[in-house]
Amino acid sequence: MSATGAGVEATFEIPGDAEAVSFARAEVRKLLADVGAPEGDTLVLLSEVVTNAVRHTLSGQGGHVVIAVAECGDGLLHLEVLDDGSDSDPTLPPMDDLTVLEESGRGLWLVSQLAHQWGWYGDTYGRCVWFRVKR
């Protein structure tokens, strides 16, 4: 991972295991500190997306997760979480299905609420969920 000049550009690969979220947060936290960018919602969103990659894709079955961070020219940070794919698409559950008592199912909803922009692309062999947050 590297941060150069005023811009941010970094990519790192981590195992898709129980430590993935902690490791991803620590690495991105260091990167943000190196360039003087506030953590804001960035680490919350990163945690949600990495958790989904480990829980719901082949990344969590002995695979890996790749995280990429880049600074956009419009004052935004662009983060990507690439997984090893699965048979399901990363879609938002209907809002009716989100209840206060549920312990999970809010990850992408949080991303949709807190990110400046977000989306995904890919197929069953690998997928990327990306989001942009203010720097």
What is the per-residue pLDDT across 22-57, written as a single tens digit (0 to 9) for each?
Answer: 999 999 999 999 888 889 899 999 999 999 999 999
* Amino acid at residue number 31: L
The CATH number for 72's domain is 3.30.565.10
Please state the domain count of the chain.
Answer: 1
* Amino acid at residue number 56: H
Tell me the pTM: 0.86
User: What is the pLDDT at residue 7?
Assistant: 65
Q: For the chain, first and last CA: distance in Å? A: 18
Domain residues for 115?
2-134
Q: What average pLDDT does range 6-31 have in this prediction?
A: 93
The mean pLDDT value of the chain amounts to: 87
pLDDT > 70: percent of the chain? 84
User: What is the pLDDT at residue 4?
Assistant: 39
Exposure of 98 in the CB half-sphere (CA atoms within 13 A):
10
